[in-house]
Each structure stands twice: as C-alpha cells, then as structure tokens.
Amino acid sequence: MLFQALTLPEPLSQGIDEAGFTECTPIQALTLPLTLGGKDVAGQGQTGTGKTAAFLITLFDRLLRQAGGGGQPRALILAPTRELVVQIEHDARLLGAHCGFSILAVYGGVDYQKQRETLRAGVDIVIGTPGRLIDYLKQKVCSLKAVDMLVIDEADRMFDLGFIGDLRYILRSLPPYDRRQNLMFSATLNHRVMELAYEFMNMPEEVRVDADQLTAANIEEVLYHVASKEKFSLLLGLLRREAMERVMIFVNTKREGERLQALMTANDCKSRMISGDVAQEKRLKIMRDFKAGKLPVLIATDVASRGLHIEGVSHVINYDLPEDSEDYVHRIGRTARAGATGKAISLADERGALSLEAIEAYIGHPIPTEWAEDDLFVTDFKRAARPVRSGKGPNANRIPEGGAKKRPRRRRS
C-alpha cells in the first residue's frame, strides 16, 4: 500500500515525501487504515518495521483535522528511555515539519528549567519519560486534560523498568479513555501488556505482524561457544575479519562494559560505552557521534536495545548473552532495519550458555552455531591497565620508581 493512497492532509503528505517514505511497511499497512479511522490499536511488529512512523502519521492526521487545545498539550507520547524519547522527537519533527505543531521532549538529566518554561508556555505534542513528566504535573506546570491522543511505545519495557505506577498516575490525569484515541506499539505484546491495554484503551484492535517469527528474516544469526577468558580474543578476531562498518556490542553490566572499552582502547579500537549511569549529555553526544559515523563501535547495556533506529548498523554482537530472552530480540533488532540486511553474533561463555535454551525457545528456532578456528583468536592483544583504586590520599596506590613498597618490619617486644 502506498502512502499517497491514504488521502492524508497536504502538510503531512509533504513531510512523508521529504522523509523518503513511499510504500507502507506491513505494520503500517495493517494499522493505519484502523488508526486513521479513529480506532484504538495495540500493535506488535518486529523491530525496525516502522511502528514509530505509524503512530506519528496517525497523530498528525488527527491533530490537523481537529481544533486546538487552548495552549495545553493535545497529544502525549510516552517511552521508557531518554534515548528513545529523543529519537521519537527527531522523527516527529521530520514527519511533521510542515504541520505547524510545537513539539517538546521531556526527560531527565538535562534542561530542567528550559523544559519547564517551554511546557508552561504551551505546546501541542509532548514526548517524554514518565518520571520527569510526573514531576511537572505535580508542580501544575501544565494540564493533560486536553490530550486527544495517547501513545505508549515499548509498553513491555515500561513493565520491566517498573513504570506501571507512574503510568497509572499519568492515565488518571488524562481525559477518560473513550474521549481520546489510544495507541500502543511494541516488538513484544505479552499478557501483562494486554491487561494494561484493556485497562486504558477503548476496545482496542490487536494487530500482530509476524507474531510467529520474532526475529527478522534479513538478520543473519550466528553463535560461538567460547570460554570467558577467551571472549575478547575472539571478539578482536571477529572485528578484524568481518567487514564491520558500524557495530553495537551489548553487555549485561556497566562494569563489564567499562572493562571491555578499556581493552578496546588498549588495542587501538575506537569505541565508547553508554549505560544508565552515564550522564545524559554525554550519552546523547556518544549517540550523535555513532549515528554520524564518527564512532565505529558502540558498547552498550540494554539501555540502547529498545526502539532506537540507527541507520547502517551492519553488526550487533552479544558479548554477553542477555538474561532476559526478550532482550535478545530487541538487541539484534538494532541491525537490518527498514529492509536492510545485518548480522547478529552472539558469544556464549560458561555463564551465558545458561540463558541459551530459554532464548531459543522464545524466538522459536536454534541460533546457528559456528566453531571458531584457532587462527580467529587474537592471542597477542594488549592488556588494559588496571583502574586506580581510591585510597586515603592521591598517591595511596602509586608504586614508586624503585618498585613496590616494602612493608616496615615489626619490632619484637
């Protein structure tokens, strides 16, 4: 189905054309006829299939055809992570460039007063994480009583991150569910999410695309079994052998990510690491550099596994296999987006192998296994310097030029 067949308002059609969209993806073709007709929809589709464009096109179409909200927000989009909020804002400004609506991204870590003043002055569309938005609502900076459309993106992740209480607080601040349109999209719609859907939506249509195939067909998956002490040796060999233009490497913990980045730096592999503890301004700069091609390797915890669209990611590497099976689907979905092809490589060490059976049961197929030849391992790599531990003084852990400190002899009494 072509977008021009949808008879959208001219300002919206112009934004779609400038974004380079011509033909609807399967999730768009199934949902847009319903959502443009005013129906509530809970949609599931593989990552990278155009769910964000589906709800943004519906949102702009509805706002263009209806009267304004008197300076209060007319549409609210909720997402679980700051990075996803920033990306949705970018896509909204692209598709809605000629629609004339004011858009504000509300999230923690940056611009508290600036966001507050902009929200108080009045905006049409708010895209935000629940926590920062609730903070402004409690201060009565704005009202959500004029919201005509609600979108919840990555709803299953909202559960994982414990946002359910915050969601219900925000829902109580909105008009009744039958006086607004409600859309919910995610790569996975489980039983818990659908319970929430029936709680805040008005008889939603459930739309699932490729529900039996959670991983995209254009992703080449491969698994290597490797001892934990040889993981970096194999990773370095893979990075040197494969034509990796832009790669995301996922780890389970911040500590492992920092250790891996130190090893990469010691071996002249340019990389940066993001996790939930990294300052927001720094995270955004790292993401900008990665998207612009200035940074070839991004190391990340699962803060970057959901919803982010980064063009040209040729490879995803699970340096650690995720403990949550759903995270495997979202991680490898960072490659092969919008019809492109990509490769997902997983390294299963002694600990990670414990998660393998559950992951394969969840995705419905075994991950093809390859056995690494000896020449693929890089054995002469440089070790990373150990981090300096904090002591009582600035030189507490410094080793003098003459060697290690000698312990003073104890006098015998």
As a whole number of angstroms, the distance between CA 183 and CA 152 comes to 6
Per-residue pLDDT of the chain (413 residues; tens, 9 = 90+): 889 889 999 999 999 999 999 999 888 999 999 999 999 999 987 666 788 999 999 999 999 998 776 789 999 999 988 888 988 999 999 999 999 999 999 998 888 999 999 999 999 999 999 999 999 999 999 999 999 999 999 887 777 667 888 999 999 999 999 999 999 987 677 788 888 888 889 999 999 886 556 666 788 999 999 999 999 999 999 999 887 889 999 999 999 999 999 999 999 999 999 887 778 788 888 988 998 889 999 999 887 666 566 778 989 999 999 998 888 988 888 887 766 789 999 999 999 999 999 999 988 899 999 999 999 999 999 988 765 444 444 444 444 433 444 444 444 43
Q: What is the pLDDT of residue 395?
A: 47
Which residues lie closer than 8 Å to 94 by C-beta, 6 or more apart?
Answer: 15, 18, 19
Sheet holding 103-106: strands in order across? 103-106, 125-128, 75-78, 149-153, 181-186, 41-44, 205-208
> How far apart, in whole angstroms, are the C-alpha atoms of residue 248 and residue 399?
37
- Residue 75 half-sphere exposure toward CB, CA atoms < 13 A: 30
SS3 content of the chain, % helix, strand, coil (to 5): 40, 15, 45
pLDDT of residue 412: 45
DSSP 23: B
The whole-number pLDDT of residue 410 equals 45
Query: Would you state the pLDDT for residue 407?
Result: 42
pLDDT of residue 223: 96
CATH class for domain 219-376? alpha beta
* Residue found under tokens 């410094």: 398
Could you give the CA distance from residue 226 to residue 90 in angstroms, rounded to a whole number?
40
CATH architecture of 3-208: 3-Layer(aba) Sandwich (3.40)
pLDDT of residue 306: 61
How high is the pLDDT of residue 259? 94
Domains 3-208 and 219-376 in one fold:
yes
Domain boundaries, the chain: 3-208, 219-376
Record the tokens describing residue 149, joined without a space: 């459309």
- Give the model's pLDDT for residue 47: 63
Q: How far apart are alpha carbons 162 and 346 in whole angstroms?
A: 28
CA distance 288 to 30: 32
